[in-house]
Amino acid sequence: MPLIVDTHCHLEQSEFEQDREAVINRASEKGVHMICSGVGREGWDLCIKLAKEHESVSASIGLDPVCFREQAELLAFLEKHSDDMLAVGEVGLDHYRVRDHKERELQAQTFRRAIHFAIENGLPIQIHSRSAGRRALDVLKDMNAEHVHMHAFDGKASLARVASRENGYYFSIPTSVVRSAQKRKLVKAVDIERILVETDSPVLGPDRESRNEPMNVWVALREVASILKREEEEMRDILLENTLRLYPGIRTK
């Protein structure tokens, strides 16, 4: 049983090419279980491979929202590897990088197909919603999605409050919470039974200029505990219970 779970990281990315095993080992030695979220064809196989080779790693397979034209490849891979995955994602909407309205609609179509797959296969789904928080939440609600994990949510805290308390969606707080006023507001808004932590490594680290890595998830834990005025061990217990509720497959690894 892990002590804590980094619910969203990108071990498959090139930033870890030179020392990936060392990064995984450093986190494992600190009691961290990692959910590696592959977001492109070049990383999907590696995510699956890492999950098979390391008890402390699970795979989630998704697609960067800007790559919505690769919908067919994503769905084919999901169908082939559904037994090797802990979750679907990250998938979703990105209205920061995609401004064209026709392309946004195609992006939403890919998002809906991924949600449908997750529902049909009883898998949790990790959501990317950059500058599209309200719209992503509307799509999820419209499709009656359950087991929803909103990753690094950058929308209004009021939206997160409603989505966590009324819809039961989970929100993961990244390590950048130590330097982000928006993420600190998010911690206070989300129902405590729906808070998770993540690193989103190699990005969103405590230090903007340095590569982030999974063992830094402990930084997010400590900051969340401080914001909510909880003892660190109590907060760790709450976060682990929340995570295993959403991702029960981690128990059996």
The string of pLDDT tens digits covering residues 200-237 is: 999 999 999 999 999 999 999 999 999 999 999 999 99
Domain with residue 183: its CATH number is 3.20.20.140
Domain that holds residue 154: 4-252
* Between 253 and 105, the higher pLDDT residue: 105
CA distance 221 to 178: 10
CA distance 48 to 53: 9
* pLDDT recorded at residue 135: 97
Percent of the chain residues topping a pLDDT of 70: 100
The string of pLDDT tens digits covering residues 161-202 is: 999 999 999 999 999 999 999 999 999 999 999 999 999 999
Tokens of 15: 């930033």
* pLDDT recorded at residue 252: 75
| Vertex 101 angle, CA 127 and 182, to 5° | 40
**Number of structural domains the chain divides into:** 1
CA distance 91 to 62: 5
Say if residues 20 and 237 touch (Cβ distance below 8 Å). Answer: no
In angstroms, the Cα distances linking 191 to 141, 168, 187, 194 are 18, 9, 8, 5
Mean pLDDT on 65-93:
97
The string of pLDDT tens digits covering residues 32-76 is: 999 999 999 889 999 999 999 999 999 999 999 999 999 999 999
Helix (H) or strand (E) holding 35: strand 32-38
Q: In terms of pTM, does the model score above 0.85?
A: yes
Mean pLDDT on 81-85:
96
